[in-house]
């Protein structure tokens, strides 16, 4: 069982960074490396801040940024967007958005501890479910077609991404008097990450419906509708992801209510 690597056989052209339709594959790599570097820096800062503040949101956000780093720095050398649809990477992506939302909830609604814990449980269970479902995605046909199963999995992905993105957009609004304009940065991050979840969900739903020969694994890339469909989605994806990561970084650092002071971090 391979959890981190794309399946055997040639993937559809648009999944590759080097696909002819993309203007510059190196630009995609640079943009994604920017996101990866921001992610690892804030993972370390937030986890260090947690040891000093003991605020659960700092730990949750630190883990979320660490998961982003893992996904990005493994995907970039492969040069393949398909990586994000693999079982463990997909679960990590789901956990990331969920942990950001739960962290916000625990900070803004500390009196609702039980609901916060239930939200965290929902995020973990749904992420594990996504990983389990995806283990049967490639090379397995349900109801005689490859179309039904990806749509089911996409529904599960969106059932986690969309409500979590909504929480990230809505919860900061309740703190705008305290946090000022920084509130809107976190809201923007929620909107963008909701878009990222939607993009990857749509790509997963229809990205593997190319006609192919089951014995030779030769993919018919002459299906120009699907090639164009994936091209649009994956052209937006890396930029939306990096902008979302940067917005989250700003949104976790600047607001007074849940921000942290780098200078005050002590690990002793």
Of the candidates 33, 13, 17, which has an alpha carbon nearest to the alpha carbon of residue 25?
A: 17
7 within some domain? no
Which whole-number Å values give the CA distances from 3 to 16, 83, 92, 138, 170, in the listed order? 19, 10, 12, 12, 34
Structure tokens at 250: 């700003």
1 within some domain? no
Look up the domain containing 243 and give its range. Answer: 24-260
5 within some domain? no
The structural domain count of the chain equals 1
Contacts for 3 with CB less than 8 Å, ≥ 6 apart: 86, 87, 88, 131, 135
The residue count for the chain:
268
What would the pLDDT profile of 164-197 be if each residue is shown by its tens digit? 888 888 888 888 777 777 778 888 888 887 777 7
- Entry pTM: 0.78
What would the pLDDT profile of 202-222 be if each residue is shown by its tens digit? 766 655 444 444 444 344 444
Euclidean distance between CA atoms 125 and 214, whole angstroms: 33
146 within some domain? yes
pLDDT at 37 over 90: yes
What would the pLDDT profile of 56-78 be if each residue is shown by its tens digit? 888 999 999 999 999 998 988 88
- Please provide residue 142's backbone torsions phi and psi, each rounded to the nearest 5 degrees: -115, 135
CATH code for the domain in which residue 140 is found:
1.20.1070
162 within some domain? yes
Q: How confident is the model at residue 136 (pLDDT cuts 50, 70, 90)?
A: low
149 within some domain? yes
């Amino acid at each position: 069982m391979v959890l981190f690597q794309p399946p055997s056989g040639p993937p559809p052209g648009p999944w590759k960074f080097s696909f002819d339709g993309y203007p510059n594959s190196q630009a995609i790599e640079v943009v994604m490396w920017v996101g990866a570097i921001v992610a690892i820096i804030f993972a370390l800062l937030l986890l260090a801040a947690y040891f000093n503040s003991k605020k659960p949101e700092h730990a949750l956000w630190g883990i979320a940024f660490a998961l982003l780093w893992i996904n990005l720095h493994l995907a970039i050398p492969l040069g393949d967007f398909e990586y994000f649809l693999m079982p463990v990477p997909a679960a990590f992506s789901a956990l990331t958005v969920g942990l950001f939302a739960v962290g916000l909830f625990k900070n803004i609604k500390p009196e609702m501890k039980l609901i916060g814990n239930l939200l965290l449980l929902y995020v973990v269970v749904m992420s594990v479910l996504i990983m389990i479902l995806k283990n049967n995605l490639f090379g397995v046909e349900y109801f005689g077609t490859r179309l039904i199963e990806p749509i089911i999995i996409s529904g599960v992905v969106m059932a986690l991404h969309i409500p979590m993105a909504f929480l990230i957009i809505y919860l900061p609004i309740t703190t705008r008097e305290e946090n000022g304009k920084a509130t809107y940065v976190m809201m923007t991050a929620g909107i963008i990450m909701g878009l990222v979840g939607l993009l990857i969900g749509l790509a997963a739903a229809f990205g593997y419906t190319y006609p192919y020969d089951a014995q030779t694994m030769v993919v018919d890339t002459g299906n120009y509708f699907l090639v164009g469909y994936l091209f649009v989605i994956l052209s937006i994806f890396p930029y939306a992801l990096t902008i979302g990561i940067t917005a989250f970084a700003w949104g976790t650092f600047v607001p007074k209510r849940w921000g942290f002071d780098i200078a005050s971090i002590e690990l002793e």
